[in-house]
Amino acid sequence: MIAVINYGAGNLPNAVRALEYVQAPIEVVTDPAAVLAADAVVLPGVGATADTMRSLREMGMDSAIRAVIARGTPFLGICVGMQVLAEQSEEFGLHECLGLVPGTIRRFDQGLKVPQIGWNSVQHDGSALWEGIPNGAEFYFVHSYYLATNDAALVAGRTEYGLTFPAAIARDNITAVQFHPEKSGQWGLKLLGNWVELARGRALGIRDRD
């Protein structure tokens, strides 16, 4: 079972609809115990990192997310669900995030239209997450902040908006995207389907080892 964490994120219903469309065996959960019991975990999101971190802490989800990531459970973060993985965020005052990937969440420069809203192309690393998706395909972005990281090996996809920023990151069992795959037409659905397949492979492996 793939747990989709419900902490009140605005895009939860549409993320659920898209995962259902690609036949993912999902369950929407609000209980950290259900996250700990899941074979894979999706953290959707739209909005501010500070609010999201507060909601996750109040629900006890922060430690559940840390635990499942430490144990190797496939994890997909979407938009703010990617940003909270960073060490810290500068949105509404510097504050701590989950610290599961190196980097800081920064605002786009003055002089750009912020939020970035619309379809932007992603230069990807050709890994299995992108199977069947052309390099340079466009995905739908809505965000004012991005992950600034020095860890080039973490970055699985890059996008330009005033500067080059990580559109997607991947390391071990962590996958996260800044864009909204649930709103990115056929490429977004393809990416979600690819992730579900990868998660299936990994989750079976985990069970085998147990």
Q: Contact with another protein (CB under 8 A): which of 52, 73, 89, 116?
A: 116
The stretch near another protein (CB under 8 A) out of 84-92, 112-120, 164-172, 196-204 is 112-120
For another protein, the closer CB: 75 or 108: 108
d(CA 81, CA 160): 20
d(CA 73, CA 106): 28
Q: Is 20 a catalytic residue?
A: no
Q: Contact with another protein (CB under 8 A): which of 2, 4, 18, 174?
A: 18
Compute the least distance from the CB of residue 18 to another protein, in Å: 6
Burial of 189: CB neighbours in 10 Å, binned 0-12, 13-18, 19+: middle
The stretch near another protein (CB under 8 A) out of 15-23, 53-61, 171-179, 193-201 is 15-23
DSSP letter, residue 108: P
d(CA 62, CA 148): 21
Q: Contact with another protein (CB under 8 A): which of 31, 47, 63, 107?
A: 47
Q: Is 180 a catalytic residue?
A: yes
For another protein, the closer CB: 34 or 48: 48
Q: Contact with another protein (CB under 8 A): which of 109, 151, 160, 172?
A: 160
Beta-carbon contacts of residue 30 (< 8 Å; ≥ 6 apart): 5, 6, 7, 59
Positions in 163-202 near another protein (CB under 8 A): 182-186, 188-189
Does residue 39 contact residue 61 with C-beta atoms inside 8 Å?
no
Burial of 113: CB neighbours in 10 Å, binned 0-12, 13-18, 19+: exposed
Which of these, 165, 159, 210, lies nearest to 184 by C-alpha position? 159
Q: Is 97 a catalytic residue?
A: no
Q: Which residues of 47-72 are buried (b: 16+ CB within 10 A; e: fewer)?
A: bbbbbbbebbeebebbebbeebbeee
Compute the least distance from the CB of residue 117 to another protein, in Å: 5
For another protein, the closer CB: 25 or 60: 25
Q: Which spans of this chain sit near another protein (rule: CB under 8 A)?
A: 10-11, 13-14, 17-18, 20-21, 46-48, 113-121, 138, 140-142, 160-161, 182-186, 188-189
Show which residues are catalytic.
79, 180, 182
